[in-house]
Structures are given as C-alpha cells and as structure tokens.
Chains A and B, each alone.
Chain A
Amino acid sequence: MTTTGWRWARAAAAAALLAFGGGASAAGRVIEVKAKRFEFSPAELRLKLGEPVTLRVTSADVTHGFYQKELGIDAEIEPGRATEVALTPTRAGRFTLICDHFCGAGHGNMRLVLVVE
C-alpha cells in the first residue's frame, strides 16, 4: 500500500512538473495530493530532508484542512481550486498531517503521513 502510494505520488509529481513547464519553479518537486471525505491520497509521502517540495492539494468534495504543526503546514483546501503548500523538511521523522476542518462523521481519521528521511 505504501509503495503503491509512493509510486502514485511520483507519477503525479512528474505529471505536475510537466504541467508547470518543466519544473523550473523555485519550490522544487511538485507532489499532487487529493483530499476527499475521509482520506488523503496518497496516504503517505516520502520526502527528503532539506529538499524543497510543493504539495499541490485539491479537494474532490468539501472544504478540508491540511495541518501539521511541527512542519508549519496550515492550509485550507477548498473544492474547485488547487492549494499549493511549499515545504522544505528540516527534520527527519514521521509526521502525521491531519484534516483539521470538520468534513463529516469520519473526519477524525483523515490523515496523511509524511516520512522525512
């Protein structure tokens, strides 16, 4: 599951880079993340310590939150537009990112694990 999720993310990132005209953006590699009640996909992302990335997050249904306190991530994901979150991980470890905008009865379990190595 983890491996599949990672491959999926890598493919999505490649696609996004093309869409952004070759990835010349200063924010680095672009990774697509989809939010829908009550999951993020992929559910896990592997990031490299010190490598800048942009998470490009879209919602398939309602407004979701995108929150990871230690990494300083705090965004609102509204349906109908992509929200870009620039990030350069400065600490290794597993960080659980949560949806912190109530989105329904399964909201409490909506999370994305960021593995920084």
Chain B
Amino acid sequence: MRHPIDRRSFLRIAGLSLGAGALYRVAPALAAGPGGRDTARRLARANGEGVTPFSFVQLSDTHVGFRGPPNPTGTLAFERAVEVVNGLREQPELVLFTGDLTHDAEGRAERLARMRRFQQLASGLRAKARHAVPGEHDAAIDGGALYREVFGETSYAFDHRGVHFVALDNVSRPKPEIGAERLAWLRQDLARYPVTAPIVVFTHRPLFDLKPEWEWFTRDGAEAMKLLAPYENVTVLYGHIHREHVHQEPNGRHVAARSLIFAFPDPAAAAEKKPAPFDPQRPFRNLGPRLLHAGPGASSRTLALGMEEVELTLREHSGTEGFQQLLRPSTLEG
C-alpha cells in the first residue's frame, strides 16, 4: 500500500537551541497539512498509539555543588534555565537531563545533599515528566549506587507518543563504557520494535569517538550503534562535552547540549581541555540563558542570536507498513 504523504517530513525531530539546553519538536509535520493528518490517522489505526507532535527539552551537566574559577555563580545558570523552559509558550512534555546532575564529592553525605539540591531545583520545572541519566560525576565513584537510591535505575526505556526513549548509562563502570550486560539489555529492549520506530537514546558520554584524548568517547559506543543500526530513525542526545555539537553518522545523528556550569572549548581549536574562563560581563556565555545580562531592549535580540536551528531530520520511512508493531512485544509479532 502506498502512502500519499511526504515521508521525509512526518518523522522529523527539529531541535532549537535555547541557550539553556535544547528544545526538540517531534513530528510537527503530522499536524501541519492534510497529508500529515492522514498519516496520523493511519498510524493511530495501525498501532493504537501513533506518533503525535510534542516537544521536549534537553538540559545537561548542571554540576550542582560545583564551585570554582570557571563558574563562581554555582547553580544560577540552572535556575535561569528552569525559568526559560517554564516561560516557553509551548510547554515541553518531557525534560531530559543528560548527566552530571551533580559535581562529585568524596563524601556520601555531601553527594546526597547535592543530589537533593538538584531534585529541588529540577522540581521547579512546570514539565513534570523528567528523566535523567547519570554522568560520571554522579555515578563513577560508587558504581552508581547512590544515584540509584535517589533517582532510580541508570538505564531504562519508555515510550512517549509513539517515540521510544532509551536512557543509556555509560558512566557507572570504572571505564568509559556501557558494558556487556547493559548492551545485552539494549539488544532485548530494541528487539520489541520495528525498524521504523523513532528512537531517541539519551546518554552522557558521546557514543562515537569525538575526542578520545579528552575522554570524549565511549569504549563500546560503536557496539551500541551497531545494535541501533537496523533502525532508521535514531537520534542520540548526550552531554559531557559542555558545548553544542552535531555529528551525523550513517545510522544516527548525535547531538550534544551545552552545560549549565561552564563551557569547554572546541577540541579542534584548543590544545588543552580547559574550561572557558569566566567572564563576569557575560556570566552565562556559551552556557545557560545568554539574556540575563543583556541591556534594555537587547534581551530578545540576544536570545534570538542564541538560537540555532539543529535539524534532526530522521531518515526516510522505509516503505513498510510502518508502525503496526510499534509498542508491541516481539512475542506478539507475526
């Protein structure tokens, strides 16, 4: 059966940098033209749950508890990010945190206090569906034990409006890796979905070799991407590198959000991995909302300049019947 629709557009996830994270719009074309609405109806008929438009926000690397020369303002950028997200006309349905929620400390009591403080600040978000993965600062010191007590599992998956979200922990082992056990879990999880399912993986470290010398990689990231390779619509969101970055691979697009504590330089241009120095004139430069210290009348302009369209165009629909099997366990297939 032929679908009289623009297949390329209906599965689009469009990302917009807020300066405070990134806002993604999923499948806006579904609501747009008659073709999109037709697709939406068809998918809903086939699945029970079709892909319907929504938006979500990614925030990253809040490092609650960090105090130091590259950022003497502590959690201020995080607090402003919460305000910016709360001020969005279209409220996101989900907020994803891609790790390093807290900065590490040696003592358990201090680590716990930082995690609680993170929760307190995050609870200011109007969007109540919040999901996180740990960063190595949250989890590496004890294999993720305290993180699990406070936030729950470090790897998990859920579905939202026909999109499959996978939280993938690549930080709680001593090495920068996912590990065989978790890869086996990922394989099982993905097996329930048809290759056309839109999949968003969120993780902390990049799953590709961005800059191994700066520990910007995951030793077995390629293994995860191999498991994801059959899927046509894969987007990986990550943090860790404290800067925006988009990387296209044949089987998925990788997008990093900025940090809310301090920025790292471009590895192609900088000899060393050193945080960008703090500029008291522009405390949130390359970080959170840039508009805070903008002059009268300048804030909207500053914000507009800070927005950068990150198009996450998903791969073309394969032409199979689509999403019939979506959200159904593989045992029910065929």
Contact = CB atoms under 8 A, between A and B. Distances in A.
Interface of A: 63, 65, 67-70, 95-96, 98, 100-102, 104-105, 107-108, 111
5 contacts: A65-B175, A104-B106, A105-B104, A105-B105, A105-B141
A100 B175 contact: yes
Contacts of B212: 67, 69-70, 98
B141 A95 contact: no
A31 B209 CA distance: 29
Q: Which of B104, B136, B217: most chain A CB closer than 10 A?
A: B104
Contact of B215 (A70, A95, A104, A108): A108
A63 B140 CA distance: 14
B213 A63 contact: no
Contacts of A63: 174
A95 B211 CA distance: 12
Interface string B128-144: 00000000100011000
Contacts of A108: 136, 215
B106 A100 contact: no
Interface string B89-106: 000000000000000111
A96 B217 CA distance: 14
Per CB-CB distance, the 8 closest pairs between chain A and chain B, nearest first, are: A102-B140, A96-B213, A69-B212, A102-B174, A101-B174, A105-B104, A98-B215, A100-B176
Q: Which of B140, B176, B213: most chain A CB closer than 10 A?
A: B213
Contacts of B136: 102, 108
B78 to A, nearest CB: 20
A108 B66 CA distance: 15
A95 B212 CA distance: 11
Contacts, number: 38
Contacts of B217: 69
A102 B217 CA distance: 14
B175 A101 contact: yes
Contacts of A111: 213
A105 B209 CA distance: 23
A104 B214 CA distance: 16
A96 B274 CA distance: 14
A65 B65 CA distance: 27
Nearest to B212: A69
Contact of A105 (B106, B176, B214): B106
A65 B105 CA distance: 21
A102 B141 contact: yes
Contacts of B219: 100
B179 to A, nearest CB: 13
Interface string B164-193: 000000000011100000000000000000
Contact of A95 (B105, B175, B213): B213
B136 to A, nearest CB: 6
Contacts of A69: 209, 212-213, 217
B169 to A, nearest CB: 14
A106 B212 CA distance: 18
A107 to B, nearest CB: 8
Contacts of A107: 140
A101 B176 CA distance: 8
Contacts of B214: 96, 98
A29 B215 CA distance: 29
Nearest to B177: A100
A111 B136 CA distance: 17
Q: Which of B105, B106, B140: most chain A CB closer than 10 A?
A: B140
Nearest to A111: B213
B115 to A, nearest CB: 15
